[in-house]
Amino acid sequence: MPAAPIWRLLGWYDAAAYYPPFVAVLSSLSYNAKQFMVSSTARPLEAREYSQRRISLLIYKQQGSGPWGGGSGGNGGNPWGGRSPGVGGGSPPLDLEELLRSGQERLRRLLPNGFDNLRGLWLLAAVIIAIWGLSGFYRVQADEQGVEMLFGAYARTTSPGLHYWFPSPVGDVLRPKVTQTNQITVGFRGSEPSVSAVPQESHMLAGDQNIADVWFVVQWRIRDAGDFLFNMRDAEGTVKVAAESAVREVVGRNPLQAVMTNQRELIAQDSRDLLQTIMDGYGAGITILDLRIQKADPPSEVIDAFNEVQRAKQDEDRLRNEALAYSNDIIPRAKGEAARMVEGATAERDKLIAEAEGQASRFSAFYQTYAANKDITIRRMYLEAMQEVLGRSQIIMMDENAGSGVVPYLALPEIQRRTQVERPQVQGSEQ
């Protein structure tokens, strides 16, 4: 491996990435030393993942060989190969002589003229230490908090801006995104156009032992960077598991109908509170901002039956409306009919009264004439009536004295026939 250009070595920011010779030697050796020392580690440290661009001795992973890295690249190589029973000694131990010789070669090439070997070495060491020291500058972005660690122990928290802290391996800086809102979806993945359901997450038992299909979204944020980083392993994964548990617990207390309709908001609220309580119980340093129920339906296997209920409701409304329409049709008609009857009767009454009054006044008129001259009036009236009646009648006159001894014969059928032929319209009499 050729040495990195000098200007790159001087850039503190990326210095670690280019493995200046000594750093490479030291880190490969320390890596092996670490392998030897740590026979059993509980688990890799995720919190470290928040630290970027830093080489930590603890988590340093050998990616490629350093200039002399042949012997130290893999997991097996360690300088004390034989002494460590746990770690297999695959590679031969490092040849220090060889290592130093080739190191000097390269140093000479790096610093070509005029320098004495020893002075050159000191100078290089000084430069490297200066670069290492400068690599302690770090920047905290606006949405981050800097958590400074000294030998792995929490030291202090810094706000956004440029700061200095001991560089690795003495110090370390973790930069969690504290203002970022994180979102977890349960029951489904993806967003609107391409949503895929995850039934094993979303199917849950409601209080009435029916199965509900509930999709929800949890939004959370880091409340306390220290708690978040140091109190709980996989706090993020725990939010999801605990959210599922909380929602299931709350849904399990409510009947399906309530979950689907009116209790939805309340269930989301209760679940949020319960989830917050659970996370606080773990000291996870997380605030649950929101728990929103996206969908609360019956499972797709039975949704047709639920739709049938909706249709039945519609039918119920339709039947009622039909009946109301019928009712609204016939009642006004009947009212009209009733009004017609009453009006007709009123007219009839008025007619009767008017007629009576007419007759009464006619009679009164006759009576006045009669009172003035009774005899004459009677006689005139009689004769007038008789004249009219007899004038249109057939009259058969019989003198009882005329045919004594002879039986008079009246041909009734003959008369009958004649009457029928030329029957006049008989007027109905009043009274």
Partner 1 sequence: MSARLTILVIVLIAAFFVALGTAFTVHQTQQALVLQFGEPRRVITEPGLHFKIPFIQNVSYYDSRVLDLDPQGQDMSLVDQRRINVDSFARYKIVDPLKFYQTVATDTAFRDRFGNILNGGVRDALGQADLTDVLGSGRQRVMDQITTAVRRRAPEFGIEVIEVRIGRTELTADTTQATYNRMRSDRMAEAADFRGRGQEQKSRIEAEANRDVTVLIAEAEKQAQILIGEGEAKSRKILNDAQGKDATFYAFFRAMEAYRAALGEGTTMVLSPNSEFFRYFDRLP
Footprint on residues 170-199 left by partner 1 (CB under 8 A)? none
Q: CB under 8 A: which stretch of 62-70, 106-114, 175-183, 296-304 binds partner 1?
A: 296-304
Instruction: Name residue, tokens 């944020």.
Output: 221
- Smallest gap from Cβ 192 to partner 1, in A, equals 26
Q: Which is nearer to partner 1, 4 or 232 (CB)?
A: 232
Q: Does 108 bind partner 1 (CB under 8 A)?
A: no
Q: Which is nearer to partner 1, 8 or 311 (CB)?
A: 311
211 in helix, strand or coil?
strand
Does an H or E element contain 294, and which?
A: strand 286-297
Q: Does 364 bind partner 1 (CB under 8 A)?
A: yes
Q: Does 39 bind partner 1 (CB under 8 A)?
A: yes
Does an H or E element contain 189, and which?
A: strand 188-189
Q: Does 299 bind partner 1 (CB under 8 A)?
A: yes
Does an H or E element contain 281, and which?
A: helix 264-282
Q: Which residues pair with 189 in a beta bridge?
A: 196
- Smallest gap from Cβ 388 to partner 1, in A, equals 6
Say what the alpha-carbon torsion angle 103, 105, 107, 111 is, to the nearest 10 degrees: 180
Indicate which single residue of 140, 206, 268, 291 sits in contact with partner 1 (rule: CB under 8 A).
Answer: 206
Q: Does 207 bind partner 1 (CB under 8 A)?
A: yes
Q: Beta strand pairing status for 153-158 and 161-164?
A: unpaired
- Smallest gap from Cβ 35 to partner 1, in A, equals 11
Indicate which single residue of 233, 266, 373, 403 sits in contact with partner 1 (rule: CB under 8 A).
Answer: 233
Q: CB under 8 A: which stretch of 4-12, 126-134, 138-146, 297-305 binds partner 1?
A: 297-305
CA 11 to chain centre: 52
User: Rounded to whole angstroms, how far apart are CA atoms 65 and 68?
Assistant: 7
What is the footprint of partner 1 within residues 266-285 (CB under 8 A)? 278, 281-284
What is the footprint of partner 1 within residues 411-430 (CB under 8 A)? 415, 418-419, 422-430
- Smallest gap from Cβ 83 to partner 1, in A, equals 8
Structure tokens at 117: 């070997």
Q: Does 390 bind partner 1 (CB under 8 A)?
A: yes
- Smallest gap from Cβ 30 to partner 1, in A, equals 6
Residues 6 or more apart whose CB falls under 8 angstroms from that of 220 comprise 181, 182, 184, 239, 286, 287, 288, 289
Q: Which is nearer to partner 1, 109 or 320 (CB)?
A: 320
Q: Does 349 bind partner 1 (CB under 8 A)?
A: yes
- Smallest gap from Cβ 263 to partner 1, in A, equals 14
Short-list 220, 271, 275, 277, CA closest to 250: 271
Q: Does 386 bind partner 1 (CB under 8 A)?
A: yes
Residues 6 or more apart whose CB falls under 8 angstroms from that of 8 comprise 14, 15, 18
Q: Does 123 bind partner 1 (CB under 8 A)?
A: no
Short-list 210, 284, 205, CA closest to 247: 205
Residues 6 or more apart whose CB falls under 8 angstroms from that of 250 comprise 267, 270, 271, 274
Q: Beta strand pairing status for 161-164 and 137-140?
A: antiparallel
b/e sequence 245-276, b meaning 16+ C-beta within 10 Å: ebbbebbeebebebbbeebbeebbebbbebbb
Q: Does 152 bind partner 1 (CB under 8 A)?
A: yes
- Smallest gap from Cβ 238 to partner 1, in A, equals 6
Indicate which single residue of 65, 91, 185, 245 sits in contact with partner 1 (rule: CB under 8 A).
Answer: 245
Q: Does 9 bind partner 1 (CB under 8 A)?
A: no
Q: Does 376 bind partner 1 (CB under 8 A)?
A: no
Indicate which single residue of 17, 266, 319, 376 sits in contact with partner 1 (rule: CB under 8 A).
Answer: 319
The amino acid that residue 360 corresponds to is A
Indicate which single residue of 360, 373, 376, 417 sits in contact with partner 1 (rule: CB under 8 A).
Answer: 360
- Smallest gap from Cβ 363 to partner 1, in A, equals 5
What is the footprint of partner 1 within residues 62-81 (CB under 8 A)? 79-80
Indicate which single residue of 10, 17, 123, 241 sits in contact with partner 1 (rule: CB under 8 A).
Answer: 241
- Smallest gap from Cβ 54 to partner 1, in A, equals 14
CA 352 to chain centre: 77
- Smallest gap from Cβ 102 to partner 1, in A, equals 13
Q: Does 252 bind partner 1 (CB under 8 A)?
A: yes
User: Rounded to whole angstroms, how far apart are CA atoms 276 and 43?
Assistant: 27
290 in helix, strand or coil?
strand
Q: By CB under 8 A, how many residues form the interface with partner 1?
A: 153
